[in-house]
Copies of this chain bind each other. A is one copy, B any other.
Amino acid sequence: MRVRLEDVARAASVSPKTVSRVLNDEANVSDDTRQRVLAAMQAMDYRPHPSARSLAGHRSFLVAMLYDNNDNPASTYLAEIQDGVLEACDEHRYSMMVRPLRMRSGDFIRRLDALIADHHPDGVVLTPPITDYAPLLKRLREAGVPHASVSPAHRGKGIIGVRMDEQQAARAIVEHLLALGHRRIAHVVGIADHGASRWRLAGYREALAAAGIAEDPVLVVQGAFTFGSGVEAARKLFALKKRPTAVFAANDDMAAGVMWAAGEYGIKVPHDLSVCGFDDIPLARQLWPALTTVRQPAREMGKLAALQLLEVVRDRSPGRLAQVGFSLEVRDSTARVP
């Protein structure tokens, strides 16, 4: 049969409440008692019943991860974040549930309310692009549900989660191209209202400006974070009288599209054209030539965001916006200007 808290109490010769204290890391337990209780738990392989804990303790031990399954970034990115969040939840014995939500759908808030009413998550992790959807944030605040964001565009105080300096990273990768002698560097932009698109574009501009190069508007083309949009953007660039010698795409999927299109035009990468991306998805290493890109540690970011959240949930700490570093993955798709 199931081992209950009461059984542990009896085995350790203490009251149930004391076992409960140990279980919840509360103060006011002598070290000696604590050890005895822990030993008994271990020996009996005690597993607290989450529903009982939740019912009596008015908390759910549940973290919900919200994502937009309509207008979302590459699913590999989300999957990595999900794994990271899950890892953090596991470590703290929280469970995680995932909720796809459609930002553009009219019942967004109703569905959010249903989630809260039905499951009472102790906290919520937000992923791009819904990290910055004002009605969502407002509703969460009203409902008193703590939330942490992965790569929020907003930087207001009270925002907790994880960010990466994407602008700095974008600048770094463009500087890598500049160092190779490139001067006509194109940029394929991501979906317009995503923070990621803005930061990466800003980094591109910053690098050019710092090098004293005037931006040529025809070299900045709109994409949509998909492979196909990368192909299309590249075709526009290749149709120019004066083609770029390098392309910085705002993510790897689009960079792959650019390389694909280069193949169509008989343009050799990296000999005739350097291409680089952003994110370092698994595909980046599989392309040929392997893609030079910025590594964004999505899994780690998911984990860190969840850890920030759990700190707030458990210790009522104020929480903070952590920052993770990036790294330049210089591979074979970039070379000296022809």
Contact = CB atoms under 8 A, between A and B. Distances in A.
Interface in A228-254: 228-229, 231
B75 A231 contact: no
B83 A227 contact: no
Contacts of A283: 227
A51 B47 contact: no
Contacts of A288: 228, 231, 260-261, 264
Given A83-B69, A264-B288, A288-B260, A119 B50 contact: yes
A1 interface: no
Contacts of A75: 75-76, 79
A287 B227 contact: yes
Number of copies: 2
B286 A231 contact: yes
Given A51-B60, A69-B83, A257 B286 contact: yes
Nearest to A286: B228
Contact of A98 (B98, B226, B227, B285): B98
B226 A286 contact: yes
Interface centre among A83, A287, A288 (most CB of B within 10 A): A288
Nearest to A228: B286
Contacts of A47: 117-118
A155 interface: no
A97 B96 CA distance: 6
A79 B129 CA distance: 17
Interface of A: 45, 47, 49-52, 54-55, 60, 69, 75-76, 78-79, 82-83, 86, 93, 95-100, 117-119, 226-229, 231, 257, 260-261, 263-264, 282-283, 285-288
Given A86-B99, A96-B97, 19 more contacts: A45-B117, A47-B117, A50-B51, A50-B118, A51-B52, A51-B60, A79-B79, A82-B98, A93-B118, A96-B98, A97-B97, A98-B98, A227-B286, A227-B287, A228-B287, A231-B288, A261-B288, A263-B263, A264-B288
24 contacts: A47-B117, A49-B55, A50-B51, A50-B118, A51-B51, A51-B52, A51-B54, A75-B75, A75-B79, A76-B76, A79-B79, A82-B98, A86-B100, A93-B118, A96-B97, A96-B98, A226-B282, A227-B286, A227-B287, A228-B287, A231-B288, A257-B286, A263-B263, A264-B288
